[in-house]
A and B are shown apart, each in its own frame.
Chain A
Amino acid sequence: MSNQDVIVIGAGGGGAVIAKELGELGLTVLVLEAGPWYGNKKWPNPNLQPGGVSSSTKDDLDVTLYKQLLNKFEMNMNDLVSGRFRWGPADRNRSQWFRHANQKGVIWQCSGVGGTTQTYTANCPRAFPAAIDKVWPLSYRELVPYYEKVEATLPVNFAATTAKEELFYYGAKKAGWNLIPTLDVKGPGYRPQPNAILPPNENITNLNITDEQLSWMEGCTLAGHCINGCPHGPSIDKIAKRSTNVSYVPLALNTGNVCIRPNAFVIEIITENNPSKGLHAIGVNIRDTWTGEQEELRAEIIVMAAGSIESPRLWLNSGLPDNPWVGKGLVNHYMDWVSGIFDEKDLIPILGTSDINPYVGNTCAARFDYPGLGTLQSVGMSPGLTASFYELSQSGYSFLNKPEINDPWDIKGRLYGYELKESMDSYRKTLNILVSTDDEVDQRNGITLDPLLRDENGFVPVVSYQPTKQSRRKRGQLVNLAADLLRKAGARKVIWTNWPAGMMIHIESTMRIGFVVDQDCESFQVKRLYIADNSVHFNSLGGVNPTLTTQALATRTAEKLFKKYFNRML
């Protein structure tokens, strides 16, 4: 007999959502999370000591502890090797978990309750309808009620404007594009970011209230630390940026049916084969990341929500049946980075200020969408992250890439030396654009197991990705559009970094719906095994940020799973 109806593996973008939905339907749910839990009294020193075992009540959440841990210092929070937001065990005395990358780039995921949404910038666009209709095994219309539910729950709103968004909109308009104030994007245009960030408190401009007081009130304070981790709000469930640890997790705990156990790495899915049920999942083996102890846990249903690398890795390490699409088809939006440096004299007439101040306001609050190509988004970050983004280049140092006369950029490639210092001296006058491509699925890309290298959790994943010809073409067009937007906004200098292919920030499509899982996200080959993370996406959604779609699907999957196994009458 199992102690719970459902085990969810991973408390990130998708896992927390399905846990809350199932809990609300009255099922008992155990969520197993490999990483730490920040802001829970049972783990007062989450990176130093093992702390408690699990938590199942909102009373354990502690906003003071949360604010102390998420201290907004970029090295402490964002360093991929030893930061609080890294892919590794809670114990920061230990190295991160190893991944074998087959190309240049960065694999950016976080362990811990909230998963990668701890560091995400909370951009929540819906997929482009044209990327879903007649392509996915579901229609866009079928998704809409689930989008609406997630948008109302997080909630999602159009981002507030600060200087960098104003400049982005100005450039987009000057470049001849229209404002498209919609959630269902059918043609090109610019719009405020639909994001899971609470609108600014009504006192945002009231100078009788101190900044610190404001940071204890409900609503975004425009502090610009979204990517460093947002600690602003009166209580955990009212933190401004709606990572799942502050949105869906408190709601899940509220149901009284959900228990979350951090520091528990699932290393195997256990199955059974019998004539009545066929091959089906019955439980998991976990490994405590502090003690190394292993334990077997059982449930009626297992949901994998370990993310697009670990879900296929776990499938493969568990020896589940062969399927030519397990791990295959990875897309990452083949991202790129274009920056514009502005002069004071050009900024003042547009903004009324001499600086853009990229550290003010939501990290990523304005966007330009182009169905068929992808998207452009404004980005403003703390300086260390900003500087490091200039360094990742497919084309090496900028001195190797002198621009041609007709090139829309002044600098291409990795900055160095004086040029770099000059760019960083202009940090407050810089607008960055993240290019995110409508990336084409290719079965050669994806996750396999390293045949030799293992860590304590099994054979390590190998991540392989090369963009297709189509994806390259589209990215090229988007880079030109970004350079044009910056130029029209008045940029004095445009820098095209030419990111390498392996920038894994939006990782999707490695356990595709219709290939590995059915329409309801249950695996074809192993019954009672569901998936509720980015990996089930059929494609790259047209180039838009993936998480809202994962959350809409997880909401739908909860309903389908419940209907099939727990209440046929629903």
Chain B
Amino acid sequence: MEASGRSVTLNPYIISTFRSLVEAIIPPHLKQKDYIGTVHVAGAQELHVYEYVIWILDHSIAFPVKEQFNFVNGSMSKSTAELLDAGAARLIQKGQIFYPLNGTAYPSGGLFSALSPIDRLRAITIIERLDINLEYLSIPYKNNPVLVRNMMDVLNELPMFCHYSEWPAYGKTRLLSPEYRRVEYFPPGWFQVQYPGPSFGYRDFRGFLAIIQHRKVDQ
């Protein structure tokens, strides 16, 4: 079954790669508060956003289609991690990294996670520009430039949607099938941007700029 919930990979290579991805896109930061000094604002990694990205990748292609891609036993998250590594390899090969590689932050990761955060985004840019050999990618990216390019937007969009939605607050239920998830606390991403969450209504009614006069319905 495709989306049987619970299943998110335990493969440390895949996890490291997506941890390093979401860290580069939504890093933690310090925010100046008027009177109390600075506060630490959690980044996407702390909110486990990479797990959502992996879950979505591995639940997004329906079984009959996977079968025809010859991808039944394949994992979309694994192929995508390898795609990111291909971009990293190319960036290194071109001698364009800004900062030296660092294998200690993500010991189980590949080249992508050894790059500095900004270089990871630059590796994504290289992939986006299709400056990699598409022949050597794994299915479904192999010789599929449209999917490769599209995925670079998706890999940015998914962490953003997740981080600033209620997903992190699903807590222990976050990797269950959606029908079984329960919000356990106020979502941190909402707190960060001061969104009050689901509402019954607001009273900020400022009148009407114009009114439509309807004709009678009956002809």
Which of B24, B146, B161, B215 counts the most A-chain CB atoms under 10 A from its CB? B161
How large, as a class, is the contact surface on chain B? 35 or more
Task: Say which one of B10-18, B26-34, B82-90, B130-138 lies at the interface with A.
Answer: B26-34
Q: Is the CB of A384 within 8 A of B165?
A: yes
* A417 close to B (CB within 8 Å): yes
Answer whether residue A155 sits at the interface, using C-beta atoms and an 8 A cutoff. yes
- B94, CB-defined interface residue at 8 Å: no
Among A9-17, A313-321, A448-456, the one that faces the other chain is A448-456
Flag whether A232 is at the interface (Cβ < 8 A): yes
Interface presence of B114 (CB below 8 A): no
- With A96-B60, A104-B153, A224-B202: A192-B217 Cβ-Cβ less than 8 Å: no
Q: Bound state CA distance, A97 and B61, in angstroms?
A: 8
Closest to B168 in A: A75
Whether the pair A384, B62 counts as a contact (CB closer than 8 A) is no
Inter-chain contact B209/A211, CB cutoff 8 Å: no
Q: With A and B bound together, what is the CA distance between A88 and B114 in angstroms?
A: 38
B39-77 residues at the A interface, CB under 8 angstroms: 41, 56, 59-65, 68-69
CA–CA, A428 and B200, complex, Å = 19
Chain B nearest Cβ from A255, distance in angstroms = 15
Partner of B193, one of A47, A83, A181, A428: A428
- Asked if A81 contacts B60 (CB within 8 A), the reply is yes
Whether a CB of chain B sits under 8 angstroms from the CB of A567 is no
Is A262 among interface residues, defined by CB-CB distance under 8 A?
no
Partner of A160, one of B61, B193, B208, B219: B208
Residue of B nearest to A390 (CB): B160
Q: Name the CB-closest residue of B to A148.
A: B215
B158 to chain A, nearest CB (A): 8
- Taking a contact as CB atoms under 8 Å apart, the answer to whether A391 and B195 are in contact is no
Task: Specify which chain B residues have a CB less than 8 angstroms from the CB of A396 in the assembled complex.
Answer: 125, 128-129
Give the most central of B27, B156, B219: most A CB within 10 Å. B156
Stretch at the interface among A304-312, A418-426, A545-553: A418-426
Q: 1/0 per position for A213-252, CB-CB distance to B under 8 A?
A: 0110000011111000000100000000000000000000
A205 near B: Cβ within 8 Å?
Answer: yes
Least CB distance from A273 to B in Å reads 32
Q: How far is the CA of A48 from the CA of B178 in the complex (A)?
A: 10
Q: A152, B203: Cβ atoms under 8 Å?
A: no
CA distance A95 to B69 in the complex (A): 16
Binds B, one of A109-117, A334-342, A353-361, A536-544: A353-361
Contact A169 B200 (CB under 8 A): no
A96 and B163 CA atoms in complex are apart in Å by: 22
Interface centre among A48, A361, A384, A385 (most CB of B within 10 A): A384
CB contact between A384 and one of B164, B181, B202 (< 8 Å): that residue: B164
Q: Does A98 contact B (CB under 8 A)?
A: yes
Interface mask (A44-84 → B, CB under 8 Å = 1, otherwise 0): 01011000000000000000000000011111100101110
Q: In the complex, what distance in Å separates the CA atom of A487 from the CA atom of B211?
A: 28
Contact between A93 and B209 (Cβ–Cβ < 8 Å)? no
A158 at the interface (CB under 8 A from B): yes
Q: Which of B5, B201, B205 contacts A215 (CB 8 A)?
A: B201
Q: Which residue of B lies closest to A464 (CB)?
A: B146
Set of chain A residues within 8 Å of B216, measured between Cβ atoms: 152
- Assess the A72–B199 pair: CB atoms within 8 A: yes
Contact status B190-A92, CB under 8 Å: no
Which among A75, A200, A452 has the greatest number of chain B C-beta atoms within 10 A? A75
From A157, A399, A416, A427, name the one whose CB has the most chain B CB atoms within 10 angstroms: A416
Q: How far is the CB of A114 from chain B (nearest CB, A)?
A: 19
Which residues of the other chain, A, contact B192 by a CB distance below 8 angstroms?
424-425
Do A222 and B153 have beta carbons less than 8 Å apart?
no
**Complexed CA–CA distance, A94 and B66 (Å):** 13
B212 sits at the interface (CB 8 A)? yes
Write the nearest CB–CB distance from A514 to chain B, whole angstroms.
26
The answer on a CB contact under 8 Å between B199 and A223 is: yes
Interface pair A104/B204, CB less than 8 Å apart: no
The count of residues in chain A whose C-beta lies closer than 8 Å to any C-beta of chain B is 102
Known pairs A151-B214, A391-B157, A452-B68; A97 contacts B62 (CB<8 A): yes
Contact indicator B156/A179 (Cβ below 8 Å): no
Contact status A104-B193, CB under 8 Å: no
Q: Which residues of A contact B24 (CB under 8 A)?
A: 416-417
Chain A residues within an 8 Å CB radius of B208: 158, 160-161, 192, 199
Q: Which residues of B contact A400 (CB under 8 A)?
A: 125
CB distance from B159 to the nearest CB of A (A): 8
Given A75-B166, A158-B210, check contact A421 B60 (CB 8 Å).
no
User: B8 CB to closest chain A CB, in angstroms?
Assistant: 13
User: Does A192 contact B65, Cβ atoms closer than 8 Å?
Assistant: no
Any B CB within 8 A of the CB of A383: yes
Q: CB of A271 within 8 A of chain B?
A: no
Return the CB mask of A182-208 against B: 1 if under 8 Å, else 0. 010000000110100001100011010
Q: Is A330 an interface residue (CB 8 A)?
A: no
A165 to B63, CA, bound (A): 45
Query: Do residues B29 and A211 form an inter-chain contact, with CB atoms below 8 A?
Result: no
Roughly how many angstroms separate A488 CA and B62 CA in the complex, as a whole number? 48
Q: Is A139 an interface residue (CB 8 A)?
A: no
**Residues of A contacting B179 with CB < 8 Å?**
45, 47-48, 92-93
Pair A455/B65 contact, Cβ less than 8 Å: yes
Question: Contact: A98 with B61, CB < 8 Å?
Answer: yes
Tell me, yes or no, whether B141 is within 8 Å of chain A by CB: no
Q: Are B27 and A421 in contact (CB-based, < 8 A)?
A: yes
Interface check A259, CB cutoff 8 A: no
A388 to B25, CA, bound (A): 12
A383–B200 touching, CB < 8 Å? no
Q: How far is the CA of A151 from the CA of B199 in the complex (A)?
A: 28
Looking at the assembled complex, report how far the CB atom of B49 sits from the nearest CB atom of chain A, in whole angstroms: 11
Q: Find chain A residues with CB under 8 A from B59 CB.
A: 81-82, 95
The answer to whether the Cβ of A363 comes within 8 Å of any Cβ in the partner chain is: no
Q: With a CB–CB cut-off of 8 A, which chain A residues contact B69?
A: 453
A142 within 8 A of partner (CB): no
Contacts of A361 in B (CB 8 A): 202, 204
Q: Evaluate contact between A221 and B146: CB separation under 8 angstroms.
A: no
Instruction: For A86, give the chain B residue with the smallest CB separation.
Output: B178
A93: min CB distance to chain B, Å = 5
Please indicate the chain B residues that have their CB under 8 angstroms from the CB of A519 in the complex. Answer: none
Please name 14 pairs of A and B residues whose Cβ atoms are closer than 8 Å in the assembled complex, sorted by A.
A71-B198, A93-B1, A158-B211, A163-B204, A179-B210, A194-B212, A210-B200, A383-B190, A391-B156, A417-B121, A421-B29, A425-B192, A454-B64, A500-B153
Interface, chain B (partner A; CB < 8 A): 1-5, 24-27, 29, 31, 41, 56, 59-65, 68-69, 117-118, 121, 124-125, 128-129, 146, 149-150, 153, 156-158, 160-167, 177-179, 181, 183, 189-190, 192-196, 198-212, 214-217, 219
Give the 10 A-B CB pairs with smallest separation, nearest first.
A221-B201, A384-B165, A181-B210, A72-B198, A211-B200, A427-B193, A388-B161, A387-B160, A215-B200, A391-B156
